[in-house]
């Protein structure tokens, strides 16, 4: 079921997109740094999970990783408001693609392909970029426990 942009959404996107990206990044990084320090429950959950994922790392390294996660989420939030203005022509300014030659080789051989991408940076921008380089992109996501469409 397609959704329509509300007038409020359009106004928010318009106003936020007029703020320079560097200013938005500073604002959201400041806001998410505040969240990191103020939301003790979520900070402790993140550190607990990191402790289990990386038992060999000391707490100083885990804190650095957790803060980096908050910083990356802030940058994604800041970039979100630019997404409506991203086009096929300027997408290269936002996304760096490596390994396209492997995709092109597989397509040339008439093979089906399975792409596995690392979650570095703004994943949502990857979703914008993929259709611009692939012939028949297909992406299926579903929440855990939900039936696959």
Q: Do 120 and 78 share a domain, yes or no? A: no
10: pLDDT strictly greater than 70 = yes
pLDDT digits (tens, 9 = 90+) for 93-119: 888 777 778 878 888 888 777 766 666
Same domain membership, residue 99 and residue 75: no
pTM of whole model > 0.85? no
**Residue 147 DSSP symbol:** P
The last residue of one of the domains, among 85, 105, 124, is 85
For the ranges 4-8, 46-50, 94-98, 135-139, the one whose mean pLDDT is highest: 46-50
Q: Do 39 and 96 share a structural domain?
A: no
**Looking at the structure, do residues 55 and 68 belong to the same domain, yes or no?**
yes
Task: State the pLDDT at residue 58.
Answer: 96
Q: Are 28 and 77 within one domain? A: yes
| Structure confidence at residue 74 (pLDDT) | 95
Q: Looking at the 3D structure of the chain, how many domains does it have?
A: 2
Please write down the long-range contacts of 17-24, taking CB distance under 8 Å and 24 or more positions apart: 17/81, 17/82, 17/84, 17/85, 19/81, 21/78, 21/79, 21/82, 24/78, 24/79, 24/81
- Does 75 lie in the same domain as 114? no
In this predicted structure, the answer to whether residue 22 has a pLDDT above a threshold of 80 is: yes
* Domain region containing 127: 90-135
Residue 4 lies in a domain: no
């Amino acid at each position: 079921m397609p959704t329509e942009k509300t007038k409020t959404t359009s106004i928010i996107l318009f106003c936020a997109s007029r703020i320079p990206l560097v200013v938005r990044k500073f604002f959201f990084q400041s806001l998410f740094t505040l969240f990191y320090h103020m939301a003790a429950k979520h900070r402790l959950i993140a550190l607990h999970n990191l402790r289990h994922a990386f038992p060999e790392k000391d707490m100083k390294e885990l804190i650095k990783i957790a803060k980096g996660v908050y910083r990356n989420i802030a940058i994604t939030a800041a970039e979100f408001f630019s997404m409506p203005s991203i086009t096929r022509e300027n997408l290269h300014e936002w996304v760096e693609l490596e390994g396209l030659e492997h995709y092109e080789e597989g397509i040339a051989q008439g093979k089906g392909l399975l792409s596995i991408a690392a979650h570095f940076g703004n994943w949502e921008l990857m979703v914008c970029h993929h259709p611009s380089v692939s012939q028949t992109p297909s992406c299926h996501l579903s929440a855990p426990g939900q039936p696959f469409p």
